[in-house]
């Protein structure tokens, strides 16, 4: 039997609203992210992009509307449960644990470790040690792929801004995510490192990771994304392929009118 039904989106936001006092930061926003895509989210400063990310990851609760991840509502799930389901995020200012080493930052992000359970530490110490070894190997592989393998023993706080962003993305990958929400991965990063980050994102997508990216750097958006959503004043302004968005007069007006 053939099944020609299109796959449901990996992430869907329906009618999201969020106000802070009198400010409607997100106002009836609708977004979908297809599995396997690199999806962009752009808009002028203050358009509501980060607030929308916070809602998509249930970091904050919407006033109205719902978010479905893999077809399931996420409003009752805590951040770690959402990560276990396969959605992780990074922040505009990378949130690494400065006083821990790069490796410790990576290991903390790993999911489903036997060692997380107190009784397993007592009952299965060998299994725990094996798992830790495997996790370290995995962490090292990911760190190698982003060029941070020489820094494993360094404090995360000693990394440059760009390297912290790489560490944050590397850490997100430790959770074997289906979807990573990246908040301005190129902001404050030098052009060489931006190119590297873009190459890594393309590689990871080939390996099956879906991305949603907020970014002000239009070269990054245009070169990476399959589809771009545009927010203005908290609401959907446009969505489409990068070249369609580039030539959309309403989008140009929203940016130029800033
Ligand atoms: N916690 C908060 N309390 C009050 N107002 C907020 C809060 N968070 C966001 N806002 C307001 O909501 C609006 C949208 O902000 P948001 O940070 O989501 O925009 P953005 O598109 O991510 O902006 P930028 O591109 O400048 O980062 C802004 O007017 C902002 O001042």
Domain that holds residue 135: 97-158
- Cβ-in-10-Å burial (0-12, 13-18, 19+) of 139 comes to buried
**Minimum CA distance residue for ligand 1 atom 23:** 46
Look at residue 99 in the predicted model and tell me its pLDDT: 83
Question: What ipTM was estimated for this complex?
Answer: 0.97
* Domain assignment of residue 195, yes or no: yes
Residues 102 and 82 grouped into a single domain:
no
**Residue segments in the chain with a per-residue pLDDT below the cut of 50:** 1, 112-115
**CA angle centred on 51, ends 76 and 241, rounded to 5°:** 105
Protein residue with least CA distance to atom 24, ligand 1: 45
User: Under a CB-based contact definition with an 8 Å cutoff, are residues 68 and 58 in contact?
Assistant: no
Q: For the chain, count helices (H), then strands (E).
A: 10, 10
- For residues 182 and 245, membership in a common domain is answered with yes
28 and 145 share a domain? no
Write out pLDDT tens, residues 38-65.
999 999 999 999 999 999 999 999 999 9
Minimum CA distance residue for ligand 1 atom 4: 20
Cα-to-centroid distance, 45 and ligand 1 (Å): 8
What are the phi and psi torsion angles at 87 (to 5°)? -115, 125
């Amino acid at each position: 039997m053939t099944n020609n039904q299109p796959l449901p989106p990996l992430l869907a936001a329906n009618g999201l609203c969020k106000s802070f006092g009198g400010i409607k930061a997100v106002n009836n926003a609708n977004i979908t992210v297809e599995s396997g895509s690199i999806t962009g989210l752009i808009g002028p400063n203050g358009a509501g992009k980060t607030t929308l990310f916070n809602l998509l990851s249930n970091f904050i609760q919407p006033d109205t509307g719902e978010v479905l991840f893999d077809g399931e509502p996420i409003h009752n799930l805590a951040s770690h449960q959402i990560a276990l389901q396969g959605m992780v995020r990074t922040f505009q200012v990378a949130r690494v644990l400065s006083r821990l080493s790069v490796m410790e930052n990576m290991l903390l992000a790993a999911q489903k470790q036997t060692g997380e359970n107190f009784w397993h530490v007592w009952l299965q110490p060998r299994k725990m040690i094996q798992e830790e070894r495997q996790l370290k190997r995995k962490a090292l592989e990911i760190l190698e792929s982003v060029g941070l393998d020489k820094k494993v023993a360094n404090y995360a706080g000693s990394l440059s801004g760009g390297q912290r962003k790489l560490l944050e993305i590397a850490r997100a990958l430790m959770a074997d995510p289906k979807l990573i929400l990246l908040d301005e991965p190129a902001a404050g990063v030098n052009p060489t490192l931006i190119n590297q980050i873009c190459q890594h994102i393309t590689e990871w997508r080939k390996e099956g990771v879906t991305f949603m990216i907020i970014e002000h750097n239009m070269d990054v958006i245009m070169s990476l994304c399959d589809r771009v959503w545009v927010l203005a004043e908290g609401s959907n302004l446009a969505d489409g392929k990068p070249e369609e968005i580039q030539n959309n007069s309403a989008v140009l007006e929203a940016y130029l009118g800033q």
